[in-house]
Amino acid sequence: MENTSNTLKSDYMKNMDISKKFIDPDMAVKRIKKRRLHNKMAQGVFSIIILFIMFILGLLLYETISTSIGWLDWGFLTGRLSINPVRAGIKSVIIGTGMLMVVVAPVTLIIGVATAIYLEEYSKKEYFTDSSVSIYPTLLVCHLLYLVFLD
């Protein structure tokens, strides 16, 4: 335990600028240990939450597959839309979804990458152009293009 504390202290002192030596190294080491403990606790809590969500999603997927396996056959997958539920199929829906993805995915990727490069390399560093929030324009463009091509 003491060796870890000394290592943290020496690492902290090495990385410190000469003008910032007014900070007490012992206090900094205590704060680093506290932050690491909080980080471990948050990782544990979020891991449990993710496992719980995955379990619920697994149950929903199992329920969906087990109740619909009787309807899933080649006639349903390759049939066209029909008013009669017995003859109805989803071929045109699958083709429409594929065509939508062929158009939207490349356009979104190109605009999203161009936006990210601009925000990261050329824009002024402000709140909305910071690296942590530069993904938001990409997400907005993706959703807007999806809505445009959906209608």
76-112 pLDDT, tens digit each: 888 887 788 777 788 888 899 899 889 888 888 888 7
| DSSP H/E element including 149 | helix 136-150
Domain layout of the chain by residue ranges: 1-69, 73-151
| DSSP H/E element including 10 | helix 2-15
pTM of the model: 0.45
Three-state DSSP at 135 gives coil
Burial 32-53 (b: 16+ CB within 10 A, else e): eeeeeeeeeeeeeeeeeeeeee
Residue 52 reports pLDDT greater than 50: yes
How many CA atoms does the CB half-sphere of 36 hold within 13 Å? 9
